């Protein structure tokens, strides 16, 4: 069961409680679930009962109990507990979880770099405009890529003639000049430098990451740290994690085996599986909120989870070990992480080299 599946399960419980007159409150559009924090119980938690308590005129713990009764026996859900003032805590069913993990790895393998793409924004064409400024142009370009990945046709307009150096950053503008009809404006904090200046000092990939990684209302950090070849540089961390997954595949090929999604349970695996499963929801949210920084932060989380997993359980045999089913499954998980990293970097307009 993925976080999206669990969110849907909780939402169905809310609808059922309302339909049965056990709960008198508006049904929310979506229910947020998140990984249990340190010291909590189970795998995931939700504060939906606290959100519904006021409109329902009931104590939050009573709302939580109403919802827990209606989630009993849900496929993939092992145990539901109530903690604190009314938090719902979920423990997933281990056997169903293993099947879901196998299905997830198969899905990533089948969809490749399009894993996480969808039709959340399918419908009327979207139109965006931006000022003649490098950060606005790069952000608009990333938003274009994200909303297209969610099924929306999009057109980008610049208030004035574009800077010729933008093309070296992979930026294209469809229309020049302020259009007669007001469009949704993309206005991040200006970078304070031109595209040419940034390209000369940082190159295209580091420039795009430096412009896109901070939230639009924050100042872009465009120092030489973006070029540091070390894990303290988030861009290097993400790209190195991707290149490491490719190196693992090459190493396995030399040893005569390939990946095979089995039961990826093991040290470090749950956290990596969770962020891979979250990828479609992250892409949809980044497109909906016009926020490429959400995707950049997610890629950092995937990279960290990959290295934790890799350090705890090597996908390649060590010493005199022979390749086993466990190695093939770990390799499948590592390759899925690499696919997510490469696909995410592509949507940000940043290259993902196989060697680094």
Which tens digits make up the pLDDT trace of 243-259?
999 999 999 999 999 99
Find the helix or strand (DSSP H, E) in which 157 lies. Answer: strand 154-158
d(CA 274, CA 111): 18
Q: Is the pLDDT of residue 341 over 90?
A: yes
Which tens digits make up the pLDDT trace of 208-242?
999 999 999 999 999 999 999 998 999 999 999 99
279 — pLDDT class (breaks 50, 70, 90) = very high
pLDDT at 8: 86
- Please report which residue ranges of 150-194 form alpha helices under DSSP H: none
The residue among 273, 280, 317 whose CA lies nearest residue 295 is: 280
- State percent of the chain over pLDDT 70: 95
pLDDT at 329: 92
User: Residue 82 in 3-state DSSP?
Assistant: strand
Which tens digits make up the pLDDT trace of 165-216?
999 999 988 887 766 555 788 999 999 999 999 999 999 999 999 999 999 9
pLDDT at 40: 74
Q: What is the CA radius of gyration of the chain?
A: 23
Q: Is the pTM of this model over 0.85?
A: no
pLDDT at 320: 86
The rounded mean pLDDT for the chain is 91
Q: Is the pLDDT of residue 97 over 70?
A: no
Strands of the sheet containing 77-83, edge to edge, are 34-35, 44-46, 87-92, 77-83
Using an 8 Å Cβ cutoff, are 297 and 320 in contact? no
Poorest-pLDDT segment among 33-47, 136-150, 322-336 = 33-47
Bridge partners, residue 82, by sequence: 88
Which tens digits make up the pLDDT trace of 39-94?
678 889 999 999 999 999 999 999 999 999 998 878 778 889 999 999 999 988 76
Poorest-pLDDT segment among 15-19, 98-102, 161-165, 277-281 = 98-102
The residue among 193, 199, 219, 183 whose CA lies nearest residue 293 is: 219
Using an 8 Å Cβ cutoff, are 66 and 25 in contact? no
């Amino acid at each position: 069961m993925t976080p999206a599946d669990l969110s849907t399960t909780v939402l169905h419980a809310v609808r059922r409680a309302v339909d049965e007159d056990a709960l008198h409150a508006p049904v929310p559009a979506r229910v947020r679930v998140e990984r249990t924090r340190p010291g909590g119980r189970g795998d995931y938690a939700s504060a939906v009962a606290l959100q519904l308590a006021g409109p329902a005129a009931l104590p939050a713990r009573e709302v939580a109990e109403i919802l827990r009764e209606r989630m009993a026996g849900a496929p993939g859900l092992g145990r539901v507990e109530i903690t604190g003032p009314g938090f719902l805590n979920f423990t997933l069913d281990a056997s169903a979880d293993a099947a879901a993990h196998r299905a997830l790895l198969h899905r990533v393998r089948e969809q490749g770099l399009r894993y996480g793409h969808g039709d959340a924004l399918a419908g009327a064409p979207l139109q965006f405009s931006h000022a003649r400024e490098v950060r606005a142009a790069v952000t608009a370009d990333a938003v274009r890529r994200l909303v297209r990945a969610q099924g929306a046709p999009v057109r980008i307009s610049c208030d004035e003639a574009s800077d010729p150096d933008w093309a070296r950053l992979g930026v294209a503008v469809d229309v020049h000049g302020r259009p007669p009809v007001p469009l949704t404006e993309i206005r991040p904090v200006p970078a304070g430098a031109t595209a040419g200046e940034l390209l000369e000092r940082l190159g295209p990939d580091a420039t795009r990451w430096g412009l896109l990684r901070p939230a639009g209302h924050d100042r872009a950090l465009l120092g030489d740290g973006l070029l540091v070849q070390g894990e303290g540089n988030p861009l290097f961390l993400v790209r190195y994690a991707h290149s490491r997954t490719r190196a693992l595949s090459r190493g396995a090929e030399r040893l005569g085996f390939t990946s095979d999604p089995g039961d990826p349970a093991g040290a470090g695996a749950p956290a990596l599986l969770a962020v891979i499963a979250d990828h479609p929801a992250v892409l949809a949210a980044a497109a909906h909120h016009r926020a490429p920084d959400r995707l950049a932060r997610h890629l950092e989380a995937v990279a960290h989870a990959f290295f934790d997993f890799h350090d705890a359980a090597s996908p390649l045999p060590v010493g005199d070990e022979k390749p086993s089913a466990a190695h093939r499954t770990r390799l499948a998980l590592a390759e899925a992480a690499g696919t997510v990293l490469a696909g995410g970097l592509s949507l940000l307009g940043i290259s993902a080299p196989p060697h680094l």
